[in-house]
Amino acid sequence: MQDQQLLRYSRQIMLPEVDIAGQQALLDARVLIIGMGGLGSPSALYCAAAGIGTLALSDFDEVDLSNLQRQIVHRQNSIGQPKVVSAKTMLNELNPECQIVTLPEKLEGDALQEQVRLADVVLDCSDRFSTRFAINAACVAERTPLVSGAAIRFGGQLAVFDSREESSPCYRCLYDDSDDEAMRCAESGVISPLVGVIGSLQALEAIKLISGAGSSTAGRLLIFDALDTQWRSMSLSKDPACPVCQP
């Protein structure tokens, strides 16, 4: 680690739970972020700032004026640009050392599987159940930890699914494919700082998983009520009939 890196990340390195070894693990890591919207924006910013060595950003959409209320990695002059290009510009300004891989496409099939295989941690910042199910299946197959976030209206959720642990459930254990596909903030609305809260926690969980600091939330579902500023924590267990994580 170079002197400039020691200075840049000094406030993390001084934490005994992180130290030099944890920071080096972050610098050596690759994180895949799927969705550069409200959740992906703060997730990417904090991952880059914390020193994640490589961020792979996947999104097939372009920046729209209505995005700027909550998607803080984008700017007014980014309207019309692919979101991954806009995000790369901002992240490079924040931390030029962070390598940004742009994937301006909807990751599916073999392409999704390959990107999950390359990643140390995957952050699911998408907003469709079909996408989430596909990401989960790829993470289970590759045994790659998955940090899932969701936010709509005034409610948010966070969960970590770590298939490296035999006792950890997967996303499909929590939801089935009959759940409402249309529950998206584009149709239902979302309060702006809520996605910042959930997206920041996704970045935190990724940093903990990579550095070894603390314990992850694997096996729990955290539910945030922004109107009353209250958290609830629910225990999750494997579904013995899960078609994804059960043999």
What is the reported pLDDT for 188? 78
Residue among 47, 173, 185, 245 flagged as catalytic: 185
What is the reported pLDDT for 181? 54
Continuous H helices in 95-128: 109-118
What does the CA dihedral 9, 12, 17, 19 come to, rounded to 10 degrees?
30
Neighbours of 49 (CB within 10 A): 16
Helices (H) and strands (E) in the chain, counts: 10, 8
All domains in the chain, ordered by first residue = 3-235 (3.40.50.720)
**Is the whole model's pTM more than 0.85, yes or no?**
yes
Which tokens hold the place of 85?
């290009």
What is the reported pLDDT for 177? 72
State the 10-residue block means of pLDDT for the chain, 247 residues long: 94 97 98 97 98 98 96 97 98 97 96 98 94 96 97 96 92 78 66 97 98 91 97 94 90
185 is annotated as an active-site residue: yes
